[in-house]
């Protein structure tokens, strides 16, 4: 396939009925950004047809711009060996290539006309009517469609070239007084990008202006547009073309600059919040994976939310008072409020366990601590137990406080519930908990999950309806603890086409 594209945009899609329409919408946005409307219909058709052939599994759509042509690639890991079909519309060429464990089904479309013709025709049409309103609307949609701060400069440049200018350089700054750095550079003529980069480096653009200014640079007329949002200077956008910038083009550039700056600021705020959420989430999970004699264990944890926001589910496994303790819990809700109760529960469990309290006593005191939080309190379901290695397996004592029932899998394939349902935490002040005792022979598996698994919904049906979770566990005979956890996670994910709206945690304990 052709090498060195001078622009590239990609997106990943989940399997299901919405995959093909989503791939077509993404293609529409890419064609709009690259100002190649003449091939938009064909490009959408090609992307849709290729996506339809792989929509049963996750896949990635990659569009590459080579100046004279655009190429779509559908990349899929561990793809099944099927007979690929070419596009129904006329393309320059298409084919299948392999890279590692990924298969790439690709097709290339030749672009009609030249960059200069596209820019001239669009400028003429804009001068005659309100075409620019649609252009700005498409630009706004494209900018609003990403929350990745590193993608915004690339989208900016691809919006304005070639419609407003022959080249675009986007500079950004990380602080109000910080120096500018070149974030993205794009020229309609790919061969001139390296030379343009050298020239821009030579003049050393370090400070951001506060007003739009015109200047001359090398063989170009240059328009410098500040990127300002919410009173903060985020960078500069430099547009270059051979002739003078008309007044209406300056207005377009300034309008795009305002929209781009707002998109950049939103993306930065989103990224900062996501980073803070991830740091908080890490603080609520075990710091390491301990080695427990006679125990093979596996865990899965997936918070809900596009930014992996902090969730209300948690798990733990730690040494305490000569035994090993484990816990898996689910706080009502997600976000910082749920995380506050998660932190309280996890640290209280560890503290009381290390002071010698039994599993039932720990839950009684944790229940009181949650109630003392007053209006900030949240309901909490919890499975907490201790593990004592013995010669013929593991002795386990555990308490289920309103939590989905724990299941034991025997090597024979028999699955049974092993916990007695008791009151959830944070509701009744006088509740008394009692521990269940069970023995895990060598090869026995104990499975505990949160309701992100059992209540996974598809068309009005829950995953655990009719003992669905027990049936899944029965299929895991002979698997390691990690393999069991992954099998349950994958089954929950595949149970419904849409992403889960609830946090998910899975804890598997297997006696060696």
All structural domains of the chain with their residue ranges: 7-110, 126-278, 286-511
In the DSSP assignment, the letter for residue 15 is S
What pLDDT score was predicted for residue 453?
95
Could you read off the pLDDT of 83-131 as tens digits, one per residue?
Answer: 778 899 988 888 888 766 778 899 999 887 544 444 454 455 444 444 5
Greatest Cα pair distance, the chain, in angstroms, is 88
Peptide bond into 443 cis (omega under 30): no
Position 128 scores a pLDDT of 42
pLDDT digits (tens, 9 = 90+) for 241-255: 988 888 888 888 898
For 380, the 3-state DSSP assignment is strand
As a whole number of angstroms, the distance between CA 136 and CA 118 comes to 17
- Average pLDDT of the residues in 169-189: 84
> The domain 126-278: what is its CATH number?
3.30.450.40
- Over residues 41-51, the pLDDT tens digits come to 999 999 999 99
What span, in angstroms and rounded, lies between the C-alpha atoms of 407 and 423?
19
The contacts of residue 248 (CB under 8 Å, 6+ apart) are 126, 127, 132
Instruction: With H, G, I as helix, E, B as strand and everything else as coil, classify residue 470.
Output: helix
Is the C-alpha dihedral spanning 104, 85, 53, 155 positive or negative? positive
> Tokens standing for 126?
């804009």
Q: What is the chain's Cα-based Rg? A: 29
CA 179 to CA 302: how far, in whole Å? 39
Q: Do 7-110 and 126-278 agree at the fold level?
A: no
> What does the mean pLDDT of the chain come to?
84
**pTM of the full structure:** 0.55
Q: Look up residue 246 and give its two tokens.
A: 């008309």
Average pLDDT of span 152-168: 87
Helix (H, G, I), strand (E, B) or coil at 151: helix
Class of domain 286-511 as given by CATH: alpha beta
In words, the CATH class of domain 7-110 is alpha beta
Place 366 in a pLDDT band, splitting at 50, 70 and 90. very high
Report the pLDDT value the prediction gives residue 325, as an integer from 0 to 100: 94
Structure tokens at 453: 């698994």
**Which range scores top for mean pLDDT: 340-354, 370-384, 431-445, 488-502?**
431-445
């Amino acid at each position: 396939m052709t090498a060195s594209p001078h622009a590239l945009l990609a997106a990943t899609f989940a399997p299901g009925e919405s995959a093909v329409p989503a791939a077509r919408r993404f293609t529409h946005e890419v064609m709009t950004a690259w100002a190649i409307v003449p091939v938009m219909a064909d490009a959408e058709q090609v992307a849709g047809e290729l996506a339809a052939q792989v929509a049963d599994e996750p896949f990635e759509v990659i569009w590459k711009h080579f100046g004279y042509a655009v190429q779509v690639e559908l990349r899929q890991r561990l793809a099944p060996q099927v007979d690929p079909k070419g596009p129904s519309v006329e393309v320059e060429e298409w084919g299948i290539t392999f890279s590692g464990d990924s298969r790439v089904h690709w097709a290339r479309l030749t672009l009609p006309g030249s960059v200069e013709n596209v820019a001239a025709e669009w400028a003429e049409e804009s001068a005659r009517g309100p075409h620019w309103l649609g252009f700005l609307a498409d630009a706004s949609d494209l900018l609003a469609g990403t929350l990745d701060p590193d993608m915004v400069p690339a989208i900016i440049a691809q919006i304005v070239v070639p419609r407003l200018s022959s080249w675009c350089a986007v500079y950004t700054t990380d602080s109000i007084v910080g120096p500018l750095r070149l974030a993205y550079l794009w020229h309609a003529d790919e061969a001139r990008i390296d030379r343009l980069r050298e020239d821009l480096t030579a003049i050393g653009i370090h400070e951001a202006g506060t007003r739009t200014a015109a200047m001359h640079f090398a063989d170009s007329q240059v328009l410098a547009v500040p990127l300002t949002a919410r009173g903060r200077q985020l960078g500069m956008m430099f547009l270059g073309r051979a002739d003078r910038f008309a007044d209406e083009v300056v207005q377009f550039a300034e309008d795009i600059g305002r929209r781009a700056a707002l998109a950049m600021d939103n993306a930065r705020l989103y990224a900062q919040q996501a980073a803070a959420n991830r740091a908080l989430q890490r603080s609520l999970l075990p710091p390491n994976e301990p080695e427990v004699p006679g125990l093979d264990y596996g865990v899965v944890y997936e918070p809900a939310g596009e930014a992996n926001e902090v969730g209300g589910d948690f798990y733990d496994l730690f040494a305490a008072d000569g035994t090993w303790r484990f816990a898996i819990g689910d706080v009502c809700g997600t976000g910082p409020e749920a995380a506050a109760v998660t932190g309280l529960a996890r640290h209280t469990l560890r503290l009381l366990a290390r002071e010698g309290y039994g599993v039932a006593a720990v839950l009684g005191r944790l229940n009181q601590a949650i109630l003392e939080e007053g209006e900030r309190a949240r309901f909490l379901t919890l499975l907490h137990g201790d593990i004592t290695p013995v010669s013929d397996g593991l002795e386990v004592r555990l308490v289920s406080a309103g939590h989905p029932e724990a299941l034991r899998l025997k090597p024979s394939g028999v699955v049974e519930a092993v916990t007695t349902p008791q009151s959830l935490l944070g509701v009744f002040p006088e509740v008394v908990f009692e521990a269940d005792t069970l023995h895990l022979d060598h090869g026995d598996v104990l499975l505990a999950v949160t309701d992100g698994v059992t209540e996974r919904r598809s068309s009005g049906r829950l995953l655990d309806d009719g003992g669905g979770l027990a049936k899944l566990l029965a299929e895991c005979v002979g698997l390691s603890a990690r393999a069991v956890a992954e099998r349950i996670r994958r089954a929950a994910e595949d149970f419904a086409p849409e992403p889960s709206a609830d946090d998910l945690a899975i804890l598997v304990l297997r006696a060696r």
